[in-house]
Structure 1
């Protein structure tokens, strides 16, 4: 199987229909990304009413990402074989009904199950949106359309914060599921009007490859997600990550030997494809790790409401959208590798500036940091996505889109786990001196999290002010080291991209 092919002829569509297709596909992918931060924001109210334990709360959040990451590659392949529009509509319907399920239960276990099914729907939606866009435009117009898609995917988490804040300001936590359910059904109806595409010569579905990819990515993401709670030295974490790597190696070996593989692993020998995959992974490691820390910083250190904590991040969108439009043209002029290295360098710089924020930092400092970060994401994401999609045969747009999505989810899980584990360990050691005089049970609460320390401070009279200040300072210290670790991962990504070369032919 060749790693490249002549450009596919795009269907004859009017400008209005192409614009409608892009708008609908971007709305769908934005909803999928937003569903992560929407549930994060509603989790305290949800836990209070359902009685979910801390472990159950973790699974309510994480099972969505786990299922999405594990199944996105097989779902993309299904779209290639059976038609991308049909898989997209089915995914939206599954997404809608599973989002509505919490209306009929107060069981934490049932919520976890519903979130798993929502992850299945999301896995069917994400690769279909990008592959439909790519198949609907001629090559010379795809860069702009992909730039818009990437920009919406980039700010989807921020949109989730704002949407959840608006809903929770007026309604119960159930509203954060009802709203997305209604939107998904409306989108499913609208998708009957968009063009479809599929393999011109359908081949048998690679069932064994699909199972191996799901197990490999699922085990890897599971291990990374659990690292934030159990620590990187936990045998559960290490066992899952090792299993994921071994299963990934088995998947690559198996696919290499197939005539009709689910994913032709030779694609990773293409420098543009490999650069795109590395870039997307480290982008989302930085993005979701930073958002994890920022959400707590804005609400617990700066005192913003959930709604305002989303709205104050508007500089991200202001810089991200224009840079997304410039990304593909700049990559064509200066080369994908040069643009990617520059963009990742900007992201690393923005992450470091975020880490320098403290309890008394001004809003201007925050705005500058997130504005720089948004510019880096805008410059890097469309170029990386184009690098992945432009180097596969048209029949495999769904699988290529799924690679793009799987690397996003792996990066997101790594970012949250890395930032969370470093932040927590630093916070616990930094706050210890301020909580030594507290009773043991109270000390455990204050040492466990900033939210716990602030709750203790409220009940501690005059001494509470000093404890609250110490806790906010300890959190800021932890955020600095956590974001510094993220910046280090991005810096490693720059080095890897710079070293990617086309293999010599003897």
Structure 2
């Protein structure tokens, strides 16, 4: 156990690292319009500046966790911090969009070490009776990225330059690294195998499918390139599933999916994040291109939406324990769908901001209701000693959902609009928001498949160490 004098350091250092990772998921969204102008990026290239980071993070997440468990959490955490910091500098120095995309891949790889190992190091440092409070502080600091990401990104892009959204990570990384090496005790988990064939197949499958979706509008949906990419991605996905069924220590434990709560919870989380990330990609640009706002003004106008996550999510999380996940999943996703659909109905070039506030708040409340319920459903469906893998699987699939959502909704945007004028952009934006609403409705439908829990039985199961799904009823 970590000495008491070092626990506060552990909490501070892991929280800062997690905040850096979460910020870089969101902070770039407000800068996309400026990056497009400065680097002459196409819509497809802009999409990859977001998806390169998310895809790299998603597919390497479980491997990053396994490396830390085997070779030392502090050692790999420090390596991830160095990789993330160096890659951030490479992003800031990018002379062209190709360089920027490559550096974002490296950033995602560093983040894939930082994200899971932050939680593992923090859990190992605190005794069970003090762990909940530490986790609350950790999640609170990480949650600041939701509100602060677009706002900070807009302020930096407008006040300095877009490169500084990446330079910001460099002094933070250099400041934190010496304390990571001196204030965090080394720890390891149970021997964990590295599923390298699974990693290779999963990465290739995800890349093939995303490449096909990204290139569809450019090369043509019936072109040999797009058809071959989608077919190859699908075949590799089948090969990945086949391998994971045979692997002794699979990256993605398929036996978890026999639980309806686990499967439906992950499907809901995937679609929720797909709808959310796809919307994030276009809405900040709509506020700038469609409504003529500056980057900072765009970030400020997203606060009613993102702020709901900070306020509502803790309340929803507490109620989920008492009432079960299904009402919050279904209700939250329907609110998300309704809010996005409302925006699609009222969006016009040059419109006033006021009519957007109510649907932004409604969708924000819905997302904040659903997120803790998806996590609770998934983690509660696995045995206590497998919670780490269950949570890692959920995080990986949510990140992949974000990649999928950006690819699909940008394809919809490109099919209906473009950057030629505010009207053209708004036409594409409306179509994309309608698509985001459909994804959220599909997520709500998946949520209906989650078993209805009996709170008393669930509490008894937790006390006896039984699997929660053994005490559910449809």
What range describes the TM-score normalised by the shorter chain of this pair?
A: 0.7 to 0.9
Report whether the alignment pairs 1:421 with 2:379: no
What does residue 497 of structure 1 align with? 447
Q: Return the match for 1:306 from 273, 287, 295.
A: 295
Shift of 1:375: 1.5
C-alpha distance in 1, partners of 2:153/2:265? 31
Shift of 1:56: 5.1
Shift of 1:298: 0.9
Normalised by the length of structure 2, the TM-score is: 0.81
Report whether the alignment pairs 1:169 with 2:119: no
C-alpha distance in 2, partners of 1:67/1:497? 28
SS of the residue aligned with 1:499? Answer: coil
**What per-residue deviation string (whole Å, max 9, x for no partner) do you get for residues 87-120 of structure 1?**
2222121010111125656355443332221121
Mapping 1:37-76, distance limit 5 Å: 37-43=26-32, 45-46=34-35, 58-76=47-65
Mapping 1:347-358, distance limit 5 Å: 347-358=336-347
Report whether the alignment pairs 1:383 with 2:376: no
Higher Cα Rg: structure 1 or 2? Answer: 1
What does residue 214 of structure 1 align with? 203
Q: Return the match for 2:327 from 330, 333, 338.
A: 338
Report whether the alignment pairs 1:367 with 2:357: yes
C-alpha contact 1:79 1:398 (8 A) present in aligned 2 = no
What does residue 169 of structure 2 align with? 180
What does residue 483 of structure 1 align with? 433
Aligned residues: 452
C-alpha contact 1:316 1:373 (8 A) present in aligned 2 = yes
**What per-residue deviation string (whole Å, max 9, x for no partner) do you get for residues 316-368 of structure 1?**
24322232212332222111223222221221122222223323654333222
Normalised by the length of structure 1, the TM-score is: 0.77
C-alpha contact 2:29 2:284 (8 A) present in aligned 1 = no
Report whether the alignment pairs 1:410 with 2:360: no
Q: Return the match for 1:127 from 116, 121, 133.
A: 116
**What per-residue deviation string (whole Å, max 9, x for no partner) do you get for residues 269-320 of structure 1?**
2233223312221121121122222112211222211011001221124322
Stretches of structure 1 lacking an aligned partner (at least 5 in a row): 1-10, 428-447, 454-470
**What per-residue deviation string (whole Å, max 9, x for no partner) do you get for residues 351-403 of structure 1?**
22222332365433322222222222222212322333344466655544432
**What per-residue deviation string (whole Å, max 9, x for no partner) do you get for residues 432-488 of structure 1?**
xxxxxxxxxxxxxxxx42xx32xxxxxxxxxxxxxxxxx43x544433332122211
Once the two structures are overlaid, the 10-residue window that deviates more, 140-149 or 251-260, is: 140-149
What does residue 99 of structure 1 align with? 88
What does residue 460 of structure 1 align with? none
**RMSD over aligned Cα atoms:** 3.5
C-alpha distance in 2, partners of 1:393/1:328? 20
Shift of 1:121: 0.8
Residue 101 to residue 478, structure 1, CA distance change in 2 (3 Å):
closer
